[in-house]
Structure formats: structure tokens, C-alpha cells
Amino acid sequence: MYDLLVVGAGPYGLSIAAHAAAAGLDVRVFGRPMAAWRDHMPEGMFLKSEPWASHLSDPGRRYGLDAYGAERGVPTEHAVPLPVRTFAEYGLWFAERAVPRVDERMIRTVDTCTGGFRALTEDGEPFHSRSVALAVGVLPFVDIPGPLRGLGPEYVTHSSHHGDLTRFRDADVTVIGAGQAALETAALLAEQGTRVRVLARSHTLNWNGLPPAWRRPWWDSVRAPHSGLGCGWRNWCYAELPGAFRRLPESGRTRIAATALGPAGAWWLRDRFEPSVEVLPGHEAVRAGVRDGRVRLEVRGPAGAPVPLLTDHVIAATGFRAGRDRLRMLSPDLRASLMPLADGSPDVGRDFESSWPGLFLAGLVTASGFGPAMRFVHGASYTAGRLVRGVRRHVRHQSRTPVRPPRLPSPASPAPDRARTP
């Protein structure tokens, strides 16, 4: 029986595995390394985060993105956008040096068993462990607007579904959204000759400004410090104080997780986007259907009355909803046992342990617990150290005390608004 099974081999999963191996835990990792970055982002995309805020985490800090850049001759400079392809290659480099062998099979189900958990791979092989860390990234949580959900993938897809956009070269495409994924996808489509427009509910698009120089007068740094989530004290608190964020009342945490760092495009994208992409601001799709092989959207704009819009395909760059109901690899009983927060995401304790002992969560699904940093690679460093500390505590405790199922919350009782004590 393993001490820890890590389900997922993206930035969070690889960082957790590196810390677990260094701590002497018997750990096994499952998943295709950096799959979301390698398979679900088209060629030509760049990281929005700064390179210095995009390190994977190992305890000795030997395998950061800067070390990879120095070894491979890849620039990792402040205010110089890094290609997503380069970041994915860095993740593979990190996995080879800091992580035990990764089993590239996917985990189909995770359930409880005597002494811990039983995970079943996609080809049916079982593995048993005292604890499990789910680091499944964002792909299980894609969110497509309600009016579009009845159409098949030949007509509607999510922006995270595309590792290659060339299938749309001669098509007419409507992109829905106003964040980086929407704006960069639209720019890439336009640059390959696709007829493309962006449908945005907001009345104006927001663009991030050029970040200030890394070296600058001290008074500028005090007024607006750099952080892994951007400049300013609020962003610095989100980036550097996830533990303090967890002490906020639940209502405040869920509100901030949903609204902080709202949709905006990167500064380096604006000159590519604005001359080539049509934008319909203040517009929302309220109905959708298919007519003669094309998508017919009914779009409500500032004037109020819906108007028809015909397009060949819709790409919904509409983000992710990280509810516990989306954790489909968990058995129904185990999934239902997780204590939910008001927004439907599972509650986690100070070491990222869920309400079921030994089941740990990482990444986007913990944003309502630890803040907006968990939506970005930058949050992996804090998560990995704290989570592995919790796994070690759980494994020690389990060796002394038989594991008993926790007391389940009453389905009729709403999750309390609280800040859990450390």
C-alpha cells in the first residue's frame, strides 16, 4: 500500500509529488505529464503569468523555470512572454528530475477501502494507498453557457478543447468571453485567416498594462509591489498569504474567488487583437440552435431585443466551475460525503485535506478555500508544501489509529458560514 497516490501530473500534481518524494513518502503519480498544456492549448499561445511566477515547486528549489532556462538557453525574463509550448517542455524537464516515475495511465475511479483508498486505472488495475491527492487541473470543470449546452461538439466547444485551431481556417467562428483565453484564441484564429468575432457580456474589454520594471525605485515597489498575480497590495496578499485568506468568513472567500482578477487580456496581445477581431460588447447569447448546418444564435445586445447571428462554430471561452459534483473520478458515495461550500466547491482544511480524512485536493477546486492564487501555477508552491505536511500527519496518525468514516453533514443543513481554525 502506498502512502500517497497523486492523481494528475500538471504543475500541482508534479509539485506535490516532488515534495512527497523528498519527504520520504512512498508516492505514485498518475496522468499524462502537463497534458492540459501539451494537448489543449494551440501552438502560438503564451503564458499570461510572468516567468518568475511560473515555477513548479521542489523543496530544494533546484528545478525552477529559471534553472530550465539557464540549462536550455531559453530566455525567462521579466515582461517577456513565455510560449506555452516552452512551459510544457519545462514541466517535462521538471518531472524527469524531481518526481518519481509517472504512470501515464488515467485514474478511472477512486473509492474508499480498508486502511485508505482504492484507485482503479483506465485499464482496470487497482492501486491502494493511505491517502490520495487530487490535482486534476481545470479540464473536469469546463463551463459552457446554458443556451449552448444542447448543441453537439461539432457546433460548440470550450476553448480548452483545442490543441489545434487549423480546422477553423476557412470557417466563421464566434468566440464567447472577454478573458485572456477568449481574446488570444480569437487573435490566433484571425491570424490564420478565420472569420472571427468576440461576443462579450461586458460593455468594454479590459487590458492589463505593461508591468513595471523589475528593478525600480523603492517607493514604487512599496506603493505597488510585484506579486505572482500582478502588481499591487491586494494581488500581493492573494499571492503570498493563502493561509490568511483561508481565515476569512466563507461568504467573503467564495465571493472573492468568483470575482477577483476578472476577465482581462494581456498587454502584449492588444496590438494583435484590436486590428483584426470584430467585437460585440454588451452582447449575450440567449438561445441557440442549428439551421442548415450552421449555428443560429439569438443575441441580446444593449438595445434589448434579441437579434439572430449565424456562424459555423462557437467557442465558449467561459471559464470553469469547480464544484464537487464535477469530481467524477470519485465514487458517488465519496463525492457526496465532501462538505460543500456555498458555491458548491468542496471545503478543505489548512493542509488541503477534504472533509474525508486522507483525501486531499489541489488547484482550482481549492480557490474558495485558499484564494485566487489557486487558479494559477503560482499557487502550486504553497499547496505542495502544506499538502504534503498534511499527508505526513495523516499517515502517522493512521499507523496508530484505525481509520473511521467521518460524520457526514446532514443534506438538509446548509454549509455554515465560517472560518475554520488552523
pLDDT in tens, 295-316: 999 999 988 888 999 999 999 9
Residue 169 lies in a domain: yes
pLDDT (mean) for 365-394:
97
Last residue in a domain, options 279, 295, 316:
316
pLDDT of residue 419: 38
Last residue in a domain, options 316, 339, 360:
316
Residue 227 lies in a domain: no
199: which strand partners? 176, 280
Report which of residues 401 and 28 the model is more confident about: 28
pLDDT (mean) for 105-121:
96
pLDDT in tens, 250-290: 999 999 999 999 999 999 999 999 999 999 999 999 999 99
Same domain, 69 and 183: no
What's the number of domains the chain is made of?
2
Same domain, 16 and 30: yes
Quote the mean pLDDT of the chain.
Answer: 93
Residue pair 173/315 in contact (Cβ under 8 Å)? The answer is: yes
pLDDT (mean) for 49-72:
96
Same domain, 28 and 153: no
CA distances from residue 199 to 234, 276, 316, 345 in whole angstroms, order as listed: 30, 15, 10, 28
pLDDT of residue 416: 43
Same domain, 152 and 284: yes
Residue 254 lies in a domain: no
Same domain, 171 and 194: yes
We report the CATH number of the domain holding residue 396 as: 3.50.50.60
CA distances from residue 322 to 198, 365, 384 in whole angstroms, order as listed: 25, 5, 19
Phi-psi group of 275: left, alpha or beta (phi > 0 → left; psi -120 to 50 → alpha; rest → beta): alpha
Distance of CA 335 to the CA centre of its chain: 20
Residue pair 118/127 in contact (Cβ under 8 Å)? The answer is: yes
pLDDT in tens, 395-410: 998 877 654 555 444 4
pLDDT of residue 305: 84
Distance CA 246, CA 340 (A): 15
- Parallel, antiparallel, or unpaired for β 306-311 and 294-300? antiparallel
pLDDT of residue 420: 39
Same domain, 76 and 150: no
Which residues, 6 or more positions from 121, have their beta carbon under 8 angstroms from its beta carbon?
A: 30, 103, 105, 106, 107, 108, 127
Same domain, 59 and 184: no
Distance CA 56, CA 1 (A): 27
Residue 235 lies in a domain: no
Distance of CA 115 to the CA centre of its chain: 31
Distance CA 236, CA 225 (A): 7
Q: Degrees (nearest 5) of the Cα angle 316, 318, 322?
A: 125
Same domain, 300 and 203: yes
pLDDT in tens, 194-245: 999 999 999 999 999 999 999 999 999 999 999 999 999 999 999 999 999 9
Distance CA 286, CA 298 (A): 6
Amino acid at residue number 254:
T
Distance CA 109, CA 120 (A): 5
Q: Degrees (nearest 5) of the Cα angle 334, 392, 326?
A: 25
Structural domain for 153, as ranges:
146-207+264-316
Residue pair 109/131 in contact (Cβ under 8 Å)? The answer is: no
pLDDT in tens, 147-178: 999 899 999 999 999 999 999 999 999 999 99
Residue 168 lies in a domain: yes
Same domain, 203 and 330: no
Same domain, 393 and 347: yes
Residue 93 lies in a domain: yes
Last residue in a domain, options 280, 297, 316:
316
Same domain, 44 and 192: no
Tell me: pLDDT of 411 over 90: no
Residue 361 lies in a domain: yes
Tell me: pLDDT of 104 over 90: yes
Same domain, 156 and 17: no
Residue 353 lies in a domain: yes
pLDDT (mean) for 64-72:
96
pLDDT of residue 397: 87
